[in-house]
Amino acid sequence: MKTLVVTGGIATGKSTAIRLLMEMGAPHLRLFDCDAEAGRLLDSGLLKDALIRAFGPGSVDGAGRADRHFLRELVFRNPESRKILEGLIHPLLHQECLAQMQAARQNAAVNGFVIDVPLFFETSARYHQDAVCVVAVSRETQKARLALRNGFREDMIEAILAAQHPIMGKVAKADFVIWNEGPPSLLQQQTQRFHQHFFHD
As annotated, the binding site for ATP includes: 11-16
- Please state the separation of Cα 35 from the chain's center in Å: 6
Q: Kindly provide the b/e burial profile for residues 79-115, where b requires at least 16 CB atoms within 10 angstroms of the residue's own CB.
A: eebbebbbebbbeebbeebeebbeebeeeeebebbbb
Distance from C-alpha of 135 to C-alpha of 7, rounded to nearest angstrom: 6
Note the helical H segments in the chain: 14-25, 34-44, 48-55, 68-77, 79-105, 139-150, 154-162, 167-173, 184-200
Please enumerate, by residue number, every residue annotated as part of a binding site: 11-16
Angle, helix 48-55 to helix 68-77, in steps of 10 degrees: 40
